[in-house]
Structure 1
């Protein structure tokens, strides 16, 4: 009999071989899943995972949230609010700092978080991409906060080329102008969705 686990998971990233790095949302544990049609980084889904030969395979999947995650290393041309958030963190001696973002009309359209890189200790960017550092609490706060942004959203995890921090930008409107600008500026092409 094949061992199975039922749960809710979020896809954090896709490995070069197509394997999906997912996080079990009940316990925060990362699990690698065989390539699965219709699942993209950022998607939250409920499914049975069946283990055969040590590899988890998705059975009976139900996608509940089509948020998209994108990653970029060595990025340049950071936007002003990201740099201001980082400078404030450095000035205050904070490891993490956050700030809302606004569109040109002054309406809230997202949030940015800066995480100080910890040279020689931790690779914050890799931990966020690989699911060993949590992103779910940021999404929950983003959706449950004062502005209460509805899913789906877009999330960008970026490592700047010349600054010692990792930027997480949460964008309220999936496929909107802000998300498109982020994708164009930081070389994060939009994946094809079903």
Structure 2
């Protein structure tokens, strides 16, 4: 018997151990789900265009134990970028990590502003827990969802964003930088500074 689920999903990227499949995060319950990519026809073109960070309204079907797309519509084109081994972190990230360290908290964040004093994003520092949790991997696989942080960003401005998840070489933190405006000068600067080319999009 075929089971279907209709929901809004965040695209996380290739599924661990299944690089040809996609890992999605169900916005309803924040549960990750692996989706086999074998859609045909017009749906294939939409699925082919999906990038990490996109928000989609989709119907999934399980007919042999694996989820597959029945329908998929792209609602938002926010981009996620994951980078391991980052060095030379920007000042706001360093200050946020220091604040978390001094206060002894697992996560803390702060808004960032342009040179004109306008809000342009938010940076968060998540303390690593060596031997207990791999925070970088948890964020990448949806075990630690970023959706509550993205909801706050959406409250500030309803637009597509760019989200950078950095695992620094020299610090026991994972840095998450949510840039308010996609294709902004700030987003371009972060990509250039940390060698994170923007993926091609249709």
When normalised by structure 1's length, the TM-score is 0.93
Q: Which deviations, in whole Å up to 9, do the C-alpha atoms of 1:134-178 show, x marking residues without a partner?
A: 11000111222xxx1222101111100110000000001101111
Q: What number of residue pairs does the alignment pair up?
A: 191
Q: Which deviations, in whole Å up to 9, do the C-alpha atoms of 1:110-135 show, x marking residues without a partner?
A: 00000000111111100000011111
Q: Which deviations, in whole Å up to 9, do the C-alpha atoms of 1:28-77 show, x marking residues without a partner?
A: 11001123312111111111112243332212211111111010000011
Among residues 140, 155, 169, which one is paired with 2:177 in the alignment?
169
Range that drifts further, 97-106 or 129-138: 97-106
Structure 2: runs of 5+ lacking an equivalent? 38-46
Equivalent positions of 1:1-194 (< 5 A) are 1-15=1-15, 17-35=19-37, 36-144=47-155, 148-194=156-202
Task: Please state whether the residue corresponding to 2:149 is helix, strand or coil.
Answer: helix
Partner of 2:41: none
Task: Please state whether the residue corresponding to 1:17 is helix, strand or coil.
Answer: strand
When normalised by structure 2's length, the TM-score is 0.89
Answer yes or no: is the 8 Å Cα contact 1:72–1:187 preserved in 2. Answer: no
Per-residue deviation, 1:101: 0.8
Looking at structure 1, the residues matched to 201 and 54 of structure 2 have their Cα atoms a distance apart, in angstroms, of 11
C-alpha spacing 1:185/1:18, structure 2 compared with 1 (3 Å): farther
Answer yes or no: is the 8 Å Cα contact 1:155–1:168 preserved in 2. Answer: yes
Answer yes or no: is the 8 Å Cα contact 1:9–1:46 preserved in 2. Answer: yes
Q: Structure 1: which 4+ aligned runs deviate by more than 3 Å?
A: none
Structure 1: runs of 5+ lacking an equivalent? none
